[in-house]
């Protein structure tokens, strides 16, 4: 290429660089000041020494680390099984509610009833009812494994939330998109599958991530029926040793999974947008 | 001030590329007050990109844009201070679907220009009435025809009394019947002395209202002049070829 930036453009680039630097500097200073202020506020509180001894003991953290890791592996497994199930269930329920065929009226009713019911009940109750109630029925062929029963309960709860997220995304697609798909003689199902749903999913990725991270955290609810996952393991240690540090260790485990996951989706989204806009 | 000498808007050696694809390549353009400048040229010749660069919707790679004597391509210039003075209408109308026609027209007046709500509504209703949209003020954009939507978009842009109006192929998405009603507004504005820069495919309209026609080719203004000259006796071979193509 023969083009070389003009004097003026080089000047402008220098100004832009300077502005960017200024902004970075402001952001850094503000962040540090706020962070230091918060730390000082906590550390200077009258009960800080007691809190530190109870929650921030290095030796207790080290001793409980392995037991909690073992428990957290259960959380991870439940999450990995539940997440795809939740996404599929949520999408199916959302699509079911958007159908118009008179033959599918019972399905629509069922889907609506399901979302209303499971969004309305506290998740911990669903976990307890499934974990204790289902095995108590004594049905043959139904698992009595708490792992599967509680996973099932979480899928039921989050499927209802995620269905509403998907439905919001579907409703947000402009009617002209449906019109142009129908004008190409696509069936309603094809319109949904190839035109509406792909756009809807892209729009709801942030709230979807919300629910998935929330699901990941709520795997701790299964401790309510006695599964020895991360929270339960931490509480167990806490009970024996009268020290709360393991709770923070467990919290750290959850964070280690949640934060990179959110960053990853943010990055994927940004890349997708850039690709679509051709910039 | 140099402004009065060189014109209301002046672009010099503009360059803009997207991912290595050069769209504007050293383009020069001068728009004097009360000018009606028509940009013509094949699709992809950079007409839309130029308009978007002029009101700073795109950052240019090189060159200088001056508006009213001030260099607005300076990174220290607040783009909003420029856009307050420059109106823009898009090919696809871009009305806000969640607002009524009236609210579309009063939003910027009230929020950006600080016009009292009552006065803003009066101004909008007066303009809407002038362009045959009096009964549509409370409708929502999606309930209107394309021509009506584009007229609303024009009213929305004019409500803030911009010193310069940029029109980006505003009739390209309309069928011929509706083109007339939109161009009628533009013609009225041009006659009232509003400074206009418009990208257009309507050659007969350009011939009629333009004070200057610019033929864009390869990312620069290949040829420009008053309509009778550019349409009647173009100098450049490529201009001739283009005009022959669009006329056939």
Full residue range of the structural domain in which residue A3 is found: 1-38
Instruction: Tell me which residues of chain A have a C-beta less than 8 Å from any C-beta of chain B.
Output: 3, 5-6, 8-9, 12, 15-16, 19, 174-175, 278-279
Neighbours of A236 (CB within 10 A): 17
Least confident of A34-43, A221-230, B89-98, B120-129: A221-230
CA distance B86 to B75: 18
Full residue range of the structural domain in which residue B114 is found: 98-161
Across the interface, whether the CB atoms of B76 and A15 are under 8 A apart is answered: yes
- B109 occurs within a structural domain: yes
Residue A72: band (very low, low, confident or very high) from pLDDT cuts 50, 70, 90:
very high
Query: Across the strands, what pairs with B15?
Result: B25, B62
Q: Give the model's pLDDT for residue B38.
A: 95
- A112 occurs within a structural domain: yes
Check which CATH number belongs to the domain holding A149 and give it.
1.10.3720.10
- A45 occurs within a structural domain: no
Residues A17, A77, single domain; the answer is no
- B110 occurs within a structural domain: yes
The answer to whether the beta carbons of residues A158 and A211 sit under 8 Å apart is yes
Q: Could you give the number of structural domains in chain B?
A: 1
| B224: enclosing H helix or E strand | strand B220-225
Least confident of A90-94, A237-241, B24-28, B65-69: A237-241
pLDDT at A223 over 70: yes
- A133 occurs within a structural domain: yes
* Class of residue B40 by CB neighbours under 10 A (exposed 0-12, middle 13-18, buried 19+): buried
Residue A128: band (very low, low, confident or very high) from pLDDT cuts 50, 70, 90:
very high
Residue A210: band (very low, low, confident or very high) from pLDDT cuts 50, 70, 90:
confident
CA distance A156 to A159: 5
Residues A94, A231, single domain; the answer is yes
- A52 occurs within a structural domain: no
Residue B102: band (very low, low, confident or very high) from pLDDT cuts 50, 70, 90:
very high
**Nearest C-alpha neighbor of B56 from the set B25, B82, B37, B88:** B82
Residues of chain A contacting B66 with CB distance shorter than 8 Å: none
């013609």: which residue's tokens? Answer: B187
- B235 occurs within a structural domain: no
- B102 occurs within a structural domain: yes
- A201 occurs within a structural domain: yes
Both tokens of B202, joined, read 């309507």
**Nearest C-alpha neighbor of B99 from the set B136, B68, B154, B71:** B136
CA distance B197 to B50: 10
Residues A108, A198, single domain; the answer is yes
Both tokens of A88, joined, read 């599929």
Length of chain A in terms of residues written: 279
Instruction: Tell me which residues of chain B have a C-beta less than 8 Å from any C-beta of chain A.
Output: 13, 15, 18-19, 22, 25, 61-64, 73-76, 97, 142
Question: Higher model confidence: residue A59 or residue A40?
Answer: A40
Q: Could you give the number of structural domains in chain A?
A: 2
pLDDT tens digits, B24-61: 999 999 999 999 999 999 988 899 999 999 999 999 99
- B130 occurs within a structural domain: yes
pLDDT at B99 over 90: yes
- B142 occurs within a structural domain: yes
CA distance B58 to A231: 52
Identify the residue among A12, A16, A173 best suited for mutation to test binding to B, counting B beta carbons within 10 A and taking the highest: A12
Half-sphere exposure of B233 (CA within 13 A, CB side): 1
pLDDT tens digits, A12-31: 999 999 999 999 999 999 99
Q: Give the model's pLDDT for residue A140.
A: 81
Residues A107, A212, single domain; the answer is yes
Burial track A37-63 (b if 16+ CB lie within 10 A, e otherwise): eeeeeeeeeeeeeeeeebeebeebbeb
ipTM, interface predicted TM-score of the complex: 0.72
Percent of chain A with pLDDT over 90: 45
Least confident of A82-91, B5-14, B105-114, B142-151: B5-14
């Amino acid at each position: 290429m023969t083009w070389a930036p003009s004097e003026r453009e080089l000047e402008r680039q220098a100004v832009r660089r300077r502005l960017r630097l200024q902004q970075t500097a402001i952001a850094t200073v503000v962040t540090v000041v706020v962070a230091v202020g918060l730390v000082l506020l906590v550390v200077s509180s009258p009960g800080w020494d007691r809190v530190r001894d109870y929650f921030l003991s290095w030796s207790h953290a080290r001793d409980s680390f392995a037991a909690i890791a073992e428990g957290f592996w259960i959380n991870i497994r439940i999450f990995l099984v539940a997440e795809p199930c939740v996404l599929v269930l949520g999408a199916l329920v959302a699509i079911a509610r958007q159908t118009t065929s008179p033959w599918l009226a019972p399905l629509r009713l069922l889907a609506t009833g399901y979302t209303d019911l499971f969004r309305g009940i506290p998740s911990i109750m669903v976990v307890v009812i499934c974990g204790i109630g289902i095995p108590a029925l004594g049905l043959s062929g139904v698992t009595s494994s708490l792992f599967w029963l509680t996973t099932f309960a979480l899928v039921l709860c989050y499927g209802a939330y995620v269905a509403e997220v998907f439905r919001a995304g579907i409703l947000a697609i402009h009617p002209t998109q449906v019109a142009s798909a129908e004008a190409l003689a696509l069936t309603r199902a094809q319109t949904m599958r190839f035109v509406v749903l792909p756009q809807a999913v892209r729009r709801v990725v942030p709230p979807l991530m919300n629910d998935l991270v929330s699901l990941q955290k709520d795997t701790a609810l299964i401790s309510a029926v006695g599964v020895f996952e991360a929270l339960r393991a931490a509480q167990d240690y806490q009970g024996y040793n009268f020290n709360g540090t393991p709770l923070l260790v467990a919290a750290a485990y959850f964070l280690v999974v949640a934060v990179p996951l959110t960053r990853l989706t943010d990055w994927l989204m940004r890349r997708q947008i850039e690709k679509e806009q051709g910039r | 001030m140099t402004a009065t000498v060189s014109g209301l808007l002046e672009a010099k050696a503009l360059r803009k590329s997207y991912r290595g694809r050069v769209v504007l390549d050293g383009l020069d353009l001068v728009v004097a007050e009360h000018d009606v400048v028509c940009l013509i040229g094949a699709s992809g010749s950079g007409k839309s990109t130029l308009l978007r660069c002029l009101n700073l919707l795109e950052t240019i790679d090189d060159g200088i844009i001056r508006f009213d004597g001030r260099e607005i391509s300076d990174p220290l210039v607040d783009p909003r201070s420029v856009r307050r003075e420059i109106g823009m209408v898009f090919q696809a109308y871009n009305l806000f679907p969640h607002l009524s026609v009236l609210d579309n027209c009063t939003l910027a007046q009230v929020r950006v220009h600080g016009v009292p709500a009552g006065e803003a509504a009066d101004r909008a209703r007066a303009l809407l009435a002038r362009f045959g949209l009096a009964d549509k003020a409370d409708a929502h954009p999606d309930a209107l025809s394309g021509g009506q939507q584009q007229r609303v978009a024009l009213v929305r842009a004019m409500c803030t009394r911009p010193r310069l109006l940029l029109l980006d192929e505003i009739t390209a998405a309309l069928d011929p019947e509706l083109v007339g009603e939109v161009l009628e507004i533009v013609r009225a504005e041009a006659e009232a002395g509003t400074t206009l820069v418009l990208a257009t495919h309507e050659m007969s309209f350009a011939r009629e209202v333009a004070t200057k026609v610019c033929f864009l080719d390869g990312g620069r203004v290949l040829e420009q002049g008053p309509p009778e000259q550019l349409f009647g006796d173009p100098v450049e071979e490529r201009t001739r070829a283009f005009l022959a193509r669009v006329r056939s």
